[in-house]
Amino acid sequence: MPKFLINKDGVYYLTTGRLLEYDRGKAKTPEQRKGVDEVECEFRRIRDEPHTWYESVEVTNDEFGPVNTGQVPGGP
């Protein structure tokens, strides 16, 4: 599963839970295609608002395992 580090205002977040995928190339049903359309539309809407862009990088080093300072409320 891909993991990502996100930097938001100097605070770093590491995705470690379930990561959902919306890939038009893998969509097999009309419902899945509609889901991809919804995600694309919402992404564009949020992207165009102020203060919604954060740096993110993919972590490919399996040995990367820093000690964290807490967990985001409502997270996995």
Supply the mean pLDDT for the chain: 89
pLDDT-derived band at 23 (thresholds 50, 70, 90) equals very high
Distances in whole angstroms, Cα of residue 22 to Cα of each of 16, 37, 64, 69, 73: 18, 9, 26, 31, 25
Whether 68 is covered by a domain: the verdict is no
Whether 40 is covered by a domain: the verdict is yes
Whether 66 is covered by a domain: the verdict is no
Residue among 26, 24, 21, 48 at smallest CA distance from 34? 24
Distance between CA atoms of 68 and 65, rounded to whole angstroms? 9
Whether 7 is covered by a domain: the verdict is yes
- The pair of structure tokens assigned to 35 is 């889901």
Whether 19 is covered by a domain: the verdict is yes
Whether 15 is covered by a domain: the verdict is yes
pLDDT in tens, 26-55: 999 999 999 999 999 999 999 999 988 888
**Number of domains within the chain:** 1
Whether 46 is covered by a domain: the verdict is yes
